[in-house]
Amino acid sequence: MQKNAVSSSEHSKVLTLDTMNPNIRTMEYAVRGAIPIRAEELTAQLKAQPDSLLFKKVTPCNIGNPQQLQQKPLTFLRQVSALIEYTDLLEPPLIETTQKLFPEDAIARAKRNLSFVNNAAGAYTQSLGIPEIRQNVAQFIEQRDGYPADPNNICLTTGASGAVERVLDMLISSPNVGIMIPIPQYPLYTATLAHLNAHAVPYYLQEEKDWQLSIPDLQRSLAEARARGIDVRAMAVINPGNPTGGCLLESNIVDIVQFCEQERLVILADEVYQTNIYTETNPFVSFKKVVSKLGSQVELFSFHSISKGMVGECGRRGGYYEAVNIDEQIMGQLLKLASVGLCPNVQGQMAVDIMVNPPQPGDASYELYRREMDDIHQSMKRRAKKLAAAFNLLPNMSCNDTQGAMYLFPRVVLPQAFVDEAKALGQEPDALYCMQMLESTGISVVPGSGFGQVPGTFHFRSTFLPPEELFDEFIAGFKSFHIALIDRYSKA
């Protein structure tokens, strides 16, 4: 062999499936899993060959992404964002033209927010986020709950997901740590726990009681985990619920807070859908409000985001967490962790500011902002009710009315012949059902097995975000698929 010849083993890759971090290899994230990937393939196929499938378009109901499904952005938010991005519009050569195109309060807000960053929206901010915006978040929380909020306990983040991941990273010190999570749950939690090599400790939401929590079930879940030697440190609660659409009663939240205080568990309150409420019987009540009202010393992190509500600015990646009753030394460590990422997305921070401090009565943009918010909210409420009613009219299907969030989580009784076929193919029955739905109708939803469900039951999660004028077509396509599948396999 020549001296400069290289053996074949030296050409092998250093980074392979065998050498990579095994925790990442085992991660799963259903809302962007096999079915959404197939949906993207079908979208590309329709673009290249418009008549090649049984349907003309793919309807992505797998993820709460409102503007992807034609929800109109809020005018005031986009006006302020445009001015912050292109500051020449605020300078003397162009300001007269700008004043003809933009309302005076949008111009004033852009100038004010630019002053927070020394007129440099492309520069880094403080790692915890712009101080003035954190102050506005604190005022928003105080107005919402009626109890004080400290801006020093608030951290702006690149979406609520980044905030959740950061807090979990702080909590998990060894593979023996466990975090209680709801079943069904948003896959962010199981995916992050798998990545951090920690235990997911499941507790079940009660479908028959509109997805409320059962304290006896929490006690059972915790006792079983601790009996296995798991160091259970925190409990995650998603309220309003994803994927369920349920909203917890205040009495249920009181029980949860008292349970966590008694069992020395940190509460992780995922409250990103707090303005997506469609019922008067279950109004949103924050965990911060209940903790404050009880005078509880339980440790609490609560999360909010611009991605949901009526704002729907998912791609801007803006969010925050509030830390309550957290040790001062841990707050210092959280600052250090935030500093590693330098700062949150600046446009996301600016959008958070508008979410928590929108135009007020008397402002030039107030009437339009209020009307746009109300129109989106009322449309969501109508679509949620209509889709739940459509599901409940179908054979082998039942669905709780949604109380909040952007989703329905109907239960499907699949014929045994279909279940047997799925198992023979090595697939979860609800996953096969959802894949066949996609291939037949172009409707992309997520199987319940991606969120967790009571063993022996099958569900799927669907948003109700398709445009209202297309809703009848959307429901008709799903109905035809479902009835045909149930009929075909019931006769098998």
Quickly list DSSP for 162-221: HHHHHHHHHH--STTEEEEEEES--THHHHHHHHTT-EEEEEE-BGGGTTB--HHHHHHH
pLDDT class of 357 with cuts at 50, 70, 90: very high
In single-letter form, the type of residue at position 70 comes to Q
In single-letter form, the type of residue at position 361 comes to P
Query: From CA 87, how far away is CA 421, in angstroms rounded?
Result: 61
At residue 184, does pLDDT exceed 80? Answer: yes
Range list of H helices, 49-91: 75-85
Strands 266-270 and 231-238: parallel
Count of residues making up the chain? 492
pLDDT class of 484 with cuts at 50, 70, 90: very high
Is the pTM value of this prediction over 0.85? yes
**DSSP assignment, residue 73?**
P
What domains, with CATH codes, occur in the chain? 22-70+370-490 (3.90.1150.10), 131-356 (3.40.640.10)
Query: From CA 61, how far away is CA 69, in angstroms rounded?
Result: 9
Instruction: Output the pLDDT for position 39.
Output: 87
Query: From CA 237, how far away is CA 212, in angstroms rounded?
Result: 11
Give the CA-trace dihedral at 49, 51, 56, 62, to 10 degrees. -50
State both tokens at 436: 């066949």
Write the pLDDT tens digit of every residue in 99-142. Answer: 999 999 999 999 999 999 888 888 888 889 999 999 999 999 99
> What is the longest distance spanned by two Cα atoms in the chain?
85
Strands 231-238 and 177-183: parallel
In the sheet where 407-408 sits, what is the strand order?
A: 407-408, 460-463, 446-447
Q: Are the CB atoms for 83 and 106 separated by under 8 Å?
A: yes
Contact partners, residue 22, CB within 8 Å, separation at least 6: none
Query: From CA 343, how far away is CA 353, in angstroms rounded?
Result: 16
Write the Ramachandran bin of 229: left for phi over 0, alpha for psi from -120 to 50, otherwise beta.
left
Write the pLDDT tens digit of every residue in 139-179. Answer: 999 999 999 999 999 999 988 888 998 899 889 988 999 99
| φ, ψ at 375 (rounded to 5°) | -60, -45
Express as a percent the part of the chain with pLDDT over 70: 95
In single-letter form, the type of residue at position 21 comes to N
How crowded is residue 242: how many other Cβ atoms within 10 Å of its Cβ?
Answer: 28
CA quadruple 191, 171, 223, 297: dihedral positive or negative? negative
Query: From CA 307, how far away is CA 310, in angstroms rounded?
Result: 9
Mean pLDDT of the region 344-363 = 93
Which residues does residue 201 pair with via DSSP β-bridges, in sequence order? 180
Mean pLDDT of the region 353-377 = 95
Strands 199-204 and 177-183: parallel
CA quadruple 24, 27, 33, 34: dihedral positive or negative? positive
In single-letter form, the type of residue at position 122 comes to G
Write the pLDDT tens digit of every residue in 24-80. Answer: 676 666 556 788 888 889 889 988 998 888 888 888 888 777 777 778 899 999 999
Lowest mean pLDDT among 35-39, 85-89, 209-213, 396-400: 35-39
Write the pLDDT tens digit of every residue in 253-273. Answer: 999 999 999 999 999 999 999
| φ, ψ at 464 (rounded to 5°) | -115, 45
pLDDT class of 486 with cuts at 50, 70, 90: very high
Cα distances from 437 to residues 223, 326, 391, 482, 485, in angstroms, run 40, 46, 14, 8, 9
Q: Minimal CA–CA distance to 345: which of 117, 171, 170?
A: 117
Helix count (H) and strand count (E) of the chain?
17, 14
Query: From CA 363, how far away is CA 191, in angstroms rounded?
Result: 44
At residue 18, does pLDDT exceed 90? Answer: no
